[in-house]
Chains A and B, each alone.
Chain A
Amino acid sequence: MPKSLISIHDFTKEEMLHVLDVAQEFEKNKVQPILRDKVIATLFFEPSTRTRLSFETASNRLGARVIGFSDAGNTSVSKGETLKDTIKMVSNYVDLIIMRHPLEGAARYASEVASVPVINAGDGANQHPSQTMLDLFTIRQTQGRLTDLSINMVGDLKYGRTVHSLLQAMSHFNPNFTFTAPDELKMPQEYKDFLDAKGIPYHETRDLEGSLNDCDILYMTRVQQERFTDPMEYEKVKNTYNLTASMLGGARENMKILHPLPRITEIAQDVDDTKHAYYFKQAENGVYARMAIISYLLGYK
Chain B
Amino acid sequence: MEKGGKELKVSAIKNGTVLDHIPANQLFKVISILGLKDCANQITFGTNLDSKLLGKKAIIKVADMFFEETEINKVALVAPDTKINIIKDFEVVEKKVLRVPDEITGIVKCANPKCVTNHEPITTKFSTEYENGVLKLHCHYCEKNTGSDNLKIITEN
Q: Which of A17-25, A100-108, A208-216 contacts B (4 or more CB under 8 A)?
A: A100-108
- Chain B residue numbers with a CB within 8 Å of A109 are 116-117, 120, 122, 141
Closest chain-A Cβ to B130's Cβ sits at a distance in Å of: 13
A–B Cβ pairs within 8 angstroms, 27 of them? A82-B120, A82-B121, A84-B120, A84-B121, A101-B116, A102-B114, A103-B114, A103-B116, A103-B119, A103-B120, A103-B142, A104-B112, A104-B114, A104-B141, A104-B142, A104-B143, A105-B141, A105-B143, A106-B116, A106-B141, A108-B116, A109-B117, A109-B120, A109-B141, A123-B116, A123-B142, A126-B143
CB distance from B133 to the nearest CB of A (A): 14
Q: Is B30 an interface residue (CB 8 A)?
A: no
Check A105/B139 contact, CB under 8 A, given A83-B116, A125-B114: yes
Does the CB pair B143–A7 fall under 8 Å?
A: yes
Total A residues in contact with B, Cβ cutoff 8 Å: 17
Q: Interface residue count for B (Cβ, 8 Å)?
A: 15
In the complex, whether A124 has a CB less than 8 A from a CB of chain B is: yes
Residues of chain A whose beta carbon lies under 8 Å from any beta carbon of chain B:
7, 82-84, 101-106, 108-109, 123-127
Which residues does chain A contribute within 8 Å of B122, judged by CB atoms? 109
Contact with A along B104-128 (1 / 0, CB 8 A): 0000000010111101111000000
Say whether A126 contacts B142, CB under 8 Å.
Answer: yes
* B115 nearest CB across to chain A (Å): 5
The residues of A that contact B112 with a CB separation of less than 8 Å are: 104
Which listed residue, A83, A102, A123, A127, touches B120 by the CB 8 Å rule?
A: A83
B140 at interface, CB cutoff 8 A = yes
Which of chain B's residues have a CB closer than 8 A to the CB of A7? 143
Given contacts A124-B114, A125-B114, contact A104 B144 (CB under 8 A): yes
CA of A105 to CA of B120, assembled, Å: 11
Q: Could you say which residues of chain A place their CB within 8 Å of the CB of B140? A: 105, 108
Query: Closest Cβ of chain B: how far from A41's Cβ, in Å?
Result: 19
CA distance A125 to B114 in the complex (A): 9
Q: Across the interface, do A105 and B121 meet the contact criterion of CB distance under 8 Å? A: no
Total inter-chain residue pairs, C-beta < 8 Å: 51
Across the A-B interface, the 7 shortest Cβ-Cβ residue pairs = A105-B141, A104-B142, A105-B142, A105-B116, A103-B116, A106-B116, A104-B114
Question: Nearest residue in A to B120 (C-beta to C-beta)?
Answer: A83
Give the chain A neighbours of B139 by CB distance below 8 A: 105
Q: How far is the CB of A122 from chain B (nearest CB, A)?
A: 13
Having A105-B139, A105-B141, one finds 4 other A-B pairs with CB under 8 Å, namely: A83-B120, A106-B141, A123-B142, A126-B144
CA distance A83 to B117 in the complex (A): 11
Separation in Å of the A132 CB from the closest CB of chain B? Answer: 14
Query: Which B residue's beta carbon lies closest to that of A110?
Result: B116
Interface flags, B69-92, vs A, CB<8A=1, else 0: 000000000000000000000000
Report the nearest A residue to B117, measured CB to CB: A105
In whole Å, how far is A98's beta carbon from the nearest beta carbon of chain B? 17
Smallest Cβ distance from B155 to chain A, in angstroms? 22
Bound CA–CA A106/B116 (angstroms): 5
User: What separation, in Å, do the CA atoms of A104 and B143 have in the docked complex?
Assistant: 8
B102 CB, nearest partner CB in chain A, Å: 18
Q: Which residue of A lies closest to B110 (CB)?
A: A105
- Set of chain A residues within 8 Å of B142, measured between Cβ atoms: 103-105, 123-124, 126
Q: Which residues of A contact B116 (CB under 8 A)?
A: 83, 101, 103-106, 108-109, 123
B149 to A: closest C-beta gap in Å: 17
Of all chain A residues, the one with the shortest Cβ separation from B141 is: A105
Question: Which residue among A84, A106, A123, A127 has the maximum number of chain B CB atoms within 10 Å of its CB?
Answer: A106
Q: Which chain B residues border A105 with CB–CB below 8 Å? A: 115-117, 139-143
Q: Measured between alpha carbons, how far is A109 from B141 in the docked complex, in Å?
A: 7
Q: Indicate with 1 or 0, residue by residue over B129-150, a CB within 8 angstroms of chain A CB atoms.
A: 0000000000111111000000
Q: How far is the CA of A109 from the CA of B115 in the complex (A)?
A: 11
Q: Which residue of A lies closest to B140 (CB)?
A: A108
- Between B112, B116, B117, B141, the greatest number of chain A beta carbons within 10 A of the residue's beta carbon is seen for B116
Nearest B residue to A193 via CB reads B131
